[in-house]
């Protein structure tokens, strides 16, 4: 099948927001900001009274700095330790870039055509499934069986909705557009909402109508077939009804009131220091792009009109509950940094979210096509991890994505391996079977333990201060003596720790080896799915390329401390024969 390559041409940015706009394509960018494009000088001049608010925003000035400097007070994030998720906030968007959890070439082999079973134990969404499927060789035809267990019904509902759209909408560009906005935009268009109501909701409602009088906790399964692929959903009656409710905007909620709810979180005055710290780490015009997204919550190119986005996203605004995401949740965290940042959208080189929009459009179009050339059987379930084995009827998996469940602030490594380890395919069946665990907070945990000891705390801080001062200029040659440079220097310290030393201590603290033995697993000597430190800054004297990567990582919101550990089943030894 020939790949559908999209043209990421941007529209002319001359739009007033009141329905008056130029419908031509942009031919050149604003030379000052490189955020918007115009078809002609006339349109650029006509739009200037509106555009100047962004183009000449205080955020673009080299003198801009977070407000707590002018107010001469310490920022609120000092001394907070490991960030704790606010109660009621959901992980609808992830904190780590999507990864390929199969990586066939480095494991079963490029020519492998057998069946593969993959379990996403608590993924939050389907981004790793998308990347894993797209990275399979184009001629791979072995059936793929994917089980997705979302820990929250809101996550389960969204995953089911995304997959149904990809399967049901035959137009790949429409499917990509619908999924993109339902995934990330606080408001959707009338066309998108009508698609949900007219095409997807009736399929779920048919199931609900048949089980409405059944016991609330009874499990019901429904399988929809699409050629050689299928989607099976297994939920209790009450969970099916909850899934159905995610298609409808809460009564009385409109565009304006929903934006008030969202801005109470994204622009929360109590979190302004966190927000401004994140702005400080970005380039001036990337700050403007971020500020626009945090204000309107619509994932579009910067200069694109938002006038058709008028309906609150029903998968986000559910039953009059507040905005479900945390203040610093950002769609740019979910996808590989370089491919999105380097995606070519023409002259608007500083439009971070416009690049992500077009990157995802192409990615989702490719995924739409792959679902029609590869037999994929999805099964979506929603249960607690303790009950997972009961839902899987003795099945074993070639890959298990444990997300960050093994992190000490989540389930921990002991409980995670105890629950998921027995579900991994034995080495006698597949020697490449792997459980992938992701640790986001391990380094912070060890640093806090050091800080609890006054002796090691003083020694560490003295060494850290000197190390950062020695290294920061090498990685950031543009550093000055201003407040923002100081903040960037402090922030970059997270990227320059000796992470291996701290993680090795973390392994000892949490007894990885003995936990593995007790659960029939062992850490792989060498990762074959994902690098142990996929975002880590390369060592040695930084080259210009490394400096550019360092700036990208520092601005991204990632820490570089994201650590992956891969586990495999231990090989059972054969005892002596018995006479």
Strand pairing class (434-439; 376-381): unpaired
Structure tokens at 507: 């392994």
- The contacts found for 354-357 with CB under 8 angstroms, 24 or more apart, are 354/10, 354/289, 354/300, 354/301, 354/302, 354/303, 354/304, 356/299, 356/331, 356/332, 357/180, 357/299, 357/300, 357/301
Across the range 46-70, mean pLDDT stands at: 94
Looking at the fold, whether 16 and 141 belong to one and the same domain comes out as yes
Question: For residue range 149-170, what is the model confidence (pLDDT) as tens digits?
Answer: 998 999 999 999 999 999 999 9
Looking at the fold, whether 423 and 357 belong to one and the same domain comes out as no
Alpha carbon of 503 to those of 82, 440, 498: distances in Å?
16, 11, 9
Say which residues have a Cβ less than 8 Å from residue 276's Cβ, sequence separation at least 6.
Answer: 66, 67, 68
Structure tokens at 371: 């679902």
CA distance 349 to 342: 9
Confidence at 532, pLDDT banded by 50, 70, 90: very high
Q: How many helices (H) and strands (E) does the chain have?
A: 21, 13
The reported pLDDT for the residue numbered 444 is 87
The reported pLDDT for the residue numbered 80 is 63
Packing angle between helix 153-168 and helix 172-184, nearest 10 degrees?
Answer: 170
- 8 Å CB contact between 403 and 413: no
Q: Which residue, 350, 376, 394, sits at the end of a domain?
A: 394
Neighbour tally for 331: CB within 10 Å: 19
Looking at the fold, whether 475 and 368 belong to one and the same domain comes out as no
Looking at the fold, whether 302 and 407 belong to one and the same domain comes out as no
Neighbour tally for 249: CB within 10 Å: 17
The reported pLDDT for the residue numbered 573 is 40
Name the residue with higher pLDDT: 344 or 457: 344
Q: How many domains does the chain have?
A: 2
Looking at the fold, whether 13 and 57 belong to one and the same domain comes out as yes
Domain that holds residue 100: 1-394
Looking at the fold, whether 381 and 519 belong to one and the same domain comes out as no
CA distance 458 to 454: 6
- 8 Å CB contact between 123 and 98: no
Looking at the fold, whether 346 and 430 belong to one and the same domain comes out as no
The reported pLDDT for the residue numbered 465 is 66
CA distance 509 to 488: 31
Return mean pLDDT, the chain: 92
Question: For residue range 459-483, what is the model confidence (pLDDT) as tens digits?
Answer: 766 766 677 667 888 899 888 878 8
The burial class, CB within 10 Å (0-12 / 13-18 / 19+), for 437 is buried
Across the range 225-249, mean pLDDT stands at: 97
- 8 Å CB contact between 377 and 133: no
CA distance 188 to 181: 6
Considering only 103-117, 219-233, 267-281, 440-454, which range has the smallest mean pLDDT?
440-454
The burial class, CB within 10 Å (0-12 / 13-18 / 19+), for 250 is middle
The reported pLDDT for the residue numbered 574 is 37
**Strands (DSSP E) along 218-329, which ranges?**
219-226, 229-236, 309-312
Question: For residue range 342-374, what is the model confidence (pLDDT) as tens digits?
Answer: 999 999 999 999 999 999 999 999 999 999 999
In a 3-state reduction of DSSP, which class is residue 35? coil
Whether the predicted pLDDT of 504 surpasses 80: yes
Q: Which residue, 353, 373, 394, sits at the end of a domain?
A: 394
The reported pLDDT for the residue numbered 571 is 73
Looking at the fold, whether 357 and 462 belong to one and the same domain comes out as no
The reported pLDDT for the residue numbered 493 is 80
Question: For residue range 397-421, what is the model confidence (pLDDT) as tens digits?
Answer: 999 999 999 999 899 999 999 999 9
Confidence at 260, pLDDT banded by 50, 70, 90: very high
Looking at the fold, whether 379 and 422 belong to one and the same domain comes out as no
Across the range 17-26, mean pLDDT stands at: 83
- 8 Å CB contact between 283 and 169: no
The reported pLDDT for the residue numbered 489 is 85
Looking at the fold, whether 380 and 409 belong to one and the same domain comes out as no
Q: Which residue, 363, 394, 425, sits at the end of a domain?
A: 394
Looking at the fold, whether 241 and 372 belong to one and the same domain comes out as yes
Nearest of 498, 578, 510, 576 to residue 537 by alpha carbon = 498
Looking at the fold, whether 173 and 294 belong to one and the same domain comes out as yes
CA distance 499 to 535: 12
């Amino acid at each position: 099948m020939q790949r559908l390559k999209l043209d990421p041409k941007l529209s002319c940015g001359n739009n007033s927001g009141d329905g008056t706009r130029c419908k031509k394509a942009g031919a050149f960018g604003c030379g000052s900001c490189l955020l918007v494009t115009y078809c002609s000088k006339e349109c650029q001049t006509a739009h200037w009274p509106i555009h100047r608010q962004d183009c000449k925003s205080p955020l673009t000035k080299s003198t801009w700095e977070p407000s707590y400097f002018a107010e001469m007070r310490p920022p609120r994030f000092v001394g907070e330790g490991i960030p704790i998720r606010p109660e009621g906030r959901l992980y609808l968007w992830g904190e780590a870039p999507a990864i390929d959890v199969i990586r066939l070439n480095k494991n079963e082999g490029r020519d492998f055509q057998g069946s593969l079973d993959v379990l996403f134990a608590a993924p939050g969404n389907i981004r790793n499934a998308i990347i894993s499927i797209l990275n399979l060789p184009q001629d791979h035809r072995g059936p793929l069986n994917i089980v997705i267990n979302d820990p929250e019904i809101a996550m389960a509902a969204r995953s089911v909705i995304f997959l149904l759209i990809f399967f049901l909408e035959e137009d790949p560009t429409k499917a990509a557009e619908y999924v993109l906005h339902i995934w990330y935009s606080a408001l959707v268009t009338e066309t998108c909402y009508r698609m949900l109501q007219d095409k997807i909701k009736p399929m779920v409602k048919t199931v609900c109508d048949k089980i409405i009088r059944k016991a609330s906790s009874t499990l019901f399964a429904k399988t929809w077939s699409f050629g050689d692929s299928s989607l099976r959903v297994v939920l209790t009656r009450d969970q099916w009804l909850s899934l159905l409710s995610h298609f409808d905007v809460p009564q009385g909620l409109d565009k304006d009131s929903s934006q008030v709810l969202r801005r109470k979180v994204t622009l929360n005055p109590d979190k302004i220091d966190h927000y401004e710290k994140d702005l400080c780490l970005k380039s001036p015009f990337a700050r403007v792009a971020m500020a626009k997204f945090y204000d309107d919550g619509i994932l579009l190119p910067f200069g694109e009109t938002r006038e058709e986005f008028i309906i609150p996203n029903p998968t986000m605004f559910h039953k009059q509950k507040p905005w479900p995401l945390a203040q610093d949740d950002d769609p740019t965290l979910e996808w590989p940094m370089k491919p999105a940042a380097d995606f070519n959208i023409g002259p608007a080189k500083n439009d971070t979210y416009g690049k992500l929009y077009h990157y995802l459009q192409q990615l989702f179009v490719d995924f739409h096509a792959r679902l029609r050339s590869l037999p994929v059987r999805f099964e979506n379930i929603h249960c607690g991890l303790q009950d997972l084995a009961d839902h899987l009827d003795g099945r074993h998996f070639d890959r298990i994505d444990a997300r960050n469940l093994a992190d000490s602030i989540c389930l921990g490594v002991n409980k995670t391996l105890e629950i998921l380890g027995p579900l991994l395919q034995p080495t006698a069946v597949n020697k490449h079977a792997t459980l992938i665990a992701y640790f986001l907070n391990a380094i912070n945990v060890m640093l806090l333990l050091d800080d609890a000891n006054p002796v090691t705390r003083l020694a560490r801080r003295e060494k850290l201060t000197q190390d950062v001062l020695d290294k920061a200029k090498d990685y950031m040659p543009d550093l000055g003596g201003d407040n923002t440079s100081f903040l960037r220097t402090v922030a970059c310290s997270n990227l320059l720790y000796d992470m291996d030393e701290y993680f090795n201590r973390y392994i000892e603290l949490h007894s990885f080896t003995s936990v593995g033995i007790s659960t029939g697993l062992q850490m792989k000597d060498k990762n074959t799915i994902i690098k142990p430190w996929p975002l880590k800054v390369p060592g040695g004297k930084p080259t210009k390329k490394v400096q550019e990567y360092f700036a990208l990582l520092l601005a991204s919101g990632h820490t570089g401390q994201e650590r992956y550990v891969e586990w495999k089943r231990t090989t059972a030894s054969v005892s002596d024969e018995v006479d």
